[in-house]
Amino acid sequence: MQELESYFEKLGEKKFRAKQVYEWLWLKPVGSFDAMTNLSKELRKKLSDEFSLPALKVDHTQHSSDGTFKLRFKTHDGHFVEGVLIPTESGRYTACVSSQIGCSLSCKFCATGYMERKRNLEFDEIYDEVVLLNNLCEKEYGKKLSNIVFMGMGEPLLNYKNVLRSIERITAADGLAMSPRRITVSTAGVAKMIKQLGDDKVKFKLALSLHAANDQKRHEIMPVNDTNNIKSLIEALNYFYKQAKNEITFEYILFKDFNDSLKDADELIKLYRQVPADLINLIEYNPIDAARFEKPSEEKVEAFIAYLSKHRVNVRLRRSRGKDIDAACGQLANKN
C-alpha cells in the first residue's frame, strides 16, 4: 500500500487513488487496468503503459445441481486451473483451490495426476482464485467464504513459498482477514516439507491424503510413497504437531476391494494411533475416465465407518459434491 501511495504521490494524484487501485488488485481482480472504472481514462492508460497485470481471469463457470460451482481460471500466460465453491447444508461455504498447473505426483485415482505439471501458481494467482471464489460466493449466496482447502490441482507443499505467501494475504487484515484455523492445506505426503511447516509454526490445519494404510498398497496408487513412505510421514506429522500444535486430519478415499475391508480399517486405526490426528475423513470415490477404481457399496462404507467408530476413531464421511460437473474430489482436469 505504501509503495502505491508514494507512486501516486509522485504522479501528482490524490492519495485515495492508491486505495482504489489496491482494492482492484487485491479484492476485485479484473485482469486489466482498463476495467478499473473509478480511475480516469488517462490514469488507466498510464498504468497500462507502465505495468502488466498478471491477474487470473474466470474463463468458464459450471454450476452443479447440488449448488457447487466450478470455475476455470485462465492465467496471464494462457494456462488453465480450476477452483471449486462448495456450499453445504450446515451453512459452510468452502473454496477448494489449486496450487499448481497440473501435478507431478501422478496419483492413480486423480484426474489432475494424468496431466503434465506446467508450472507452480504464483502467490497472487492463488490469492486471486480465493478472491474470485469469495466474490462468487457473495454474489450467489450473500455470504463470504467460511473455509478454504488446498485440495485442488497440484501438491501445495511442492509450491511451498507461494502457498504460504498466499495464505499470508488471505489472513491479512487488508486481505480477506480470514482466520488461519479455517484453512486446510492437504498434502499427498512430502515428509521434508511437513517438517518445514512445523519449523515455520504455521497456524493453518494440515491434512494428509493417506488413502492406503500400508506401503505396498500406497505405492500402487501414489508414487510419491516411494520416496516418502508411511514411516517417514508418521515421523514428520509428529514433528509437525510438536512444533506447530495444529490440527491434523487423515484423508482416506474408499476404493472398492482395494482398501475398504475391515483388515484395512484395522491398519488405518493403527496409524491413526501413532499420530495426534483429530479426524479421519473418509471420502467417497469419484470415478474418472482414466482410472480403474470403483466406489464401494453403501453397506461396505457403513461397515467401515462402524468399525472405526467402535474403536473410538473420530471419523466422518465426506460425500461427493459437484460430480455432475467434474468438480468433485480428484476430478479436476480442465475439462468442460
| Enzyme catalytic residues | 82, 329
| Minimum distance from residue 37 beta carbon to ligand SF4 (Å) | 37
Based on CB atoms, which residue is closest to ligand SF4, 68 or 112?
112
Q: Which residues lie closer than 8 Å to 172 by C-beta, 6 or more apart?
A: none
Tell the smallest beta-carbon distance from residue 115 to ligand SF4 (Å).
Answer: 9
* Contact call for residues 252 and 283 (beta carbons, < 8 A): yes
- Nearer CB in complex with ligand SF4: 83/154: 154
- Binding-site member from 87, 113, 198, 296 for ligand SF4 (CB under 6 A): 113
Cell output for 114: 494424468
Q: Which of 47/188 has CB closer to ligand SF4?
A: 188
Pick between residue 188 and residue 193 the one whose CB is nearest to ligand SF4. 188
According to CB under 6 A, which residues from 183 to 212 bind ligand SF4? 188
Query: Rounded distance, CA 28 to CA 133, Å?
Result: 11
Shortest distance, position 120 Cβ to ligand SF4, whole Å = 13
User: What are 77's three cell numbers?
Assistant: 500466460
Buried b (16+ CB within 10 A) or exposed e, 116-143: ebbebbbbbbbbbbbbbbbbbbeeeeee
CA 42 to chain centre: 39
Q: Which of residues 130-159 bind ligand SF4 (CB under 6 A)?
A: 153-155
Residues 6 or more apart whose CB falls under 8 angstroms from that of 148 comprise 94, 95, 96, 97, 130, 170, 178, 182, 183, 184
Nearer to ligand SF4, 116 or 299 (CB): 116
- Size of interface with ligand SF4, in residues (CB under 6 A): 11
Least distance between ligand SF4 and beta carbon 261 (Å)? 23
In the complex, what is the shortest distance from the CB of residue 78 to ligand SF4, in angstroms, rounded to a whole number?
Answer: 21
> Any long-range contacts for 261-270 (C-beta under 8 Å, 24+ apart)?
262/303, 262/304, 262/307, 264/212, 264/213, 264/304, 265/304, 265/307, 265/308, 266/307, 267/213, 267/214, 268/210, 268/213, 268/308, 268/313, 269/308, 269/311, 269/313, 270/213
Q: Give me the 83-112 binding string for ligand SF4, x by CB under 6 A, dash otherwise.
A: --------------------x-xxx--x-x
Q: Which residues bind ligand SF4 (CB under 6 A)?
A: 103, 105-107, 110, 112-113, 153-155, 188
